[in-house]
């Protein structure tokens, strides 16, 4: 079938593009950056454009059966520094995308929300999808607003949304010098023999999900008739200090941690309850953190 991947040049988007292309879909990618050179774009139509560009959307949407929306013009730190940009680019931008889908009668959208920010500081962990959405950062506020609008348009009867809330995805293809992705950044530093900066005391707990597990869940969710939100995590919490140790053991490299002051927009601990995806989609994560570190490390040292 014909599918559109918004943000298909990103870490998640590019892996998703590959999975869709390889299963035989006709894939169109819209991304504001030039196509990355480390993946094979064979048979994929690539448009470098803003995803909220009406003309581009009107050109690519006819005949599309599924839209995957993984674009964001912010990460948590830049969103908090400039909430107006976050709202304009991500909230209003997504409205433009949804309005274009409506014009063309395209109903199915799989939206990448954020398991790490929509719940705020969870009342208990692991946190299920039914937990109140109580974001404390601009990134999370905007993600929640988009989710609410998706639900509203679903009730209005013209949209079939499904939401994936990834925790912290990692794996081959993630930028080692990016603003997100502790596993990739740590491995990149291990490769070059540099130390890492850790915000806070290193006991911040996150739920790292291997990219292949996330992509598998995404396809199952989009292909299902489900209209719910799905947590996409490993279900296991790992502190930054623990992650450092695992990277040291997995790579055999020294990795010196330098501690910096904590950031206001970081929640203390987040681990996702992923049992809904098991119950409704038969999905469970397959790659544990040590295996995932190995797979990512091997990809890194052979490129």
The neighbour count for residue 268, using CB atoms within 10 Å, is: 12
What residues between 155 and 184 interact with a second copy by CB under 8 A? 155-156
Smaller CB separation from a second copy, 152 or 256: 152
Q: If we measure between CA atoms, which residue out of 136, 258, 160, 162 comes closest to residue 218?
A: 162
Residue 141 C-beta: closest distance to a second copy, Å? 4
Q: Take residue 251 and report the two structure tokens written for it.
A: 């790579």
149 binds a second copy (CB under 8 A): yes
Question: Tokens 């994560």 correspond to what residue?
Answer: 285
**Angle subtended at Cα 284 by Cα 281 and Cα 288, rounded to the nearest 5 degrees:** 160
**Could you give the CA distance from residue 51 to residue 94 in angstroms, rounded to a whole number?**
8
Catalytic residue among 68, 139, 170, 208: 139
Residue 170 annotated among the catalytic residues of the structure: no
The interface region with a second copy, picked from 128-136, 224-232, 273-281, 290-298 by CB under 8 A, is: 128-136
124 binds a second copy (CB under 8 A): no
Residues 58-97, one symbol each (x = binds a second copy by CB under 8 A, - = not), give ----------------------x--xx--xx--xx--x--
- Could you say which of 104, 151, 200, 223 contacts a second copy (CB under 8 A)? 151
Contact 145, 257 (CB under 8 A): no
Measure CA of the first residue to CA of the last residue in the chain; give whole Å: 32
Residues 129-148, one symbol each (x = binds a second copy by CB under 8 A, - = not), give ---xxxxxxx--xx-xx--x
Residues 253-272, one symbol each (x = binds a second copy by CB under 8 A, - = not), give -----------xx-------
Residue 264 C-beta: closest distance to a second copy, Å? 6
Residues 6 or more apart from 143 whose CB is under 8 A from it? 90, 113, 114, 117, 118, 135
**Could you give the CA distance from residue 86 to residue 11 in angstroms, rounded to a whole number?**
19
Q: Take residue 4 and report the two structure tokens written for it.
A: 């559109």
Residues 23-62, one symbol each (x = binds a second copy by CB under 8 A, - = not), give ----------------------------------------
Residues composing the chain: 303
**Could you give the CA distance from residue 203 to residue 36 in angstroms, rounded to a whole number?**
34
Residue 225 C-beta: closest distance to a second copy, Å? 21
Residue numbers of the site for a second copy (CB under 8 A)? 80, 83-84, 87-88, 91-92, 95, 132-138, 141-142, 144-145, 148-149, 151-152, 155-156, 264-265
């Amino acid at each position: 079938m014909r599918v559109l991947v918004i943000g298909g040049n990103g870490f998640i988007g590019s892996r998703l593009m590959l999975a869709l292309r390889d299963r035989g879909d006709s894939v169109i990618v819209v991304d504001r950056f030039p196509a990355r050179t480390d993946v094979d774009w064979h048979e994929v139509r690539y448009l470098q454009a803003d995803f909220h560009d009406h003309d581009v959307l009107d050109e690519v949407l006819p005949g599309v059966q599924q839209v995957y929306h993984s674009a964001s013009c912010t990460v948590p730190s830049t969103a908090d520094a400039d909430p107006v940009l976050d709202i304009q680019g991500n909230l209003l931008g997504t409205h433009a995308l949804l309005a274009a889908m409506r014009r063309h009668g395209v109903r199915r959208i799989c939206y990448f929300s954020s398991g790490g920010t929509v719940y705020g500081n969870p009342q208990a962990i692991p946190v299920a999808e039914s937990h109140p959405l109580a974001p404390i950062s601009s990134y999370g506020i905007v993600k929640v607003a988009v989710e609410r609008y998706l639900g509203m348009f679903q009730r209005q009867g013209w949209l079939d949304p499904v939401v994936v809330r990834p925790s912290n995805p990692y794996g081959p293809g993630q930028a080692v010098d990016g603003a997100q992705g502790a596993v990739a950044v740590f491995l990149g530093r291990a490769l070059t023999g540099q130390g890492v900066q850790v915000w806070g005391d290193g006991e911040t707990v996150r739920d790292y999900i291997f990219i292949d597990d996330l992509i598998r869940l995404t396809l199952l969710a989009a292909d299902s008739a489900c209209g719910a939100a799905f947590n996409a995590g490993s279900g296991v919490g790992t502190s930054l200090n623990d992650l450092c140790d695992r990277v040291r053991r997995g790579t055999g490299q020294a990795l010196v941690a330098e501690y910096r002051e904590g950031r206001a927009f970081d929640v203390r601990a987040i681990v996702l309850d992923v049992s809904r995806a098991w119950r409704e989609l038969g999905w469970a994560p397959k790659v544990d953190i040590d295996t995932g570190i190995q797979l990512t490390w091997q990809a890194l040292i052979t490129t």
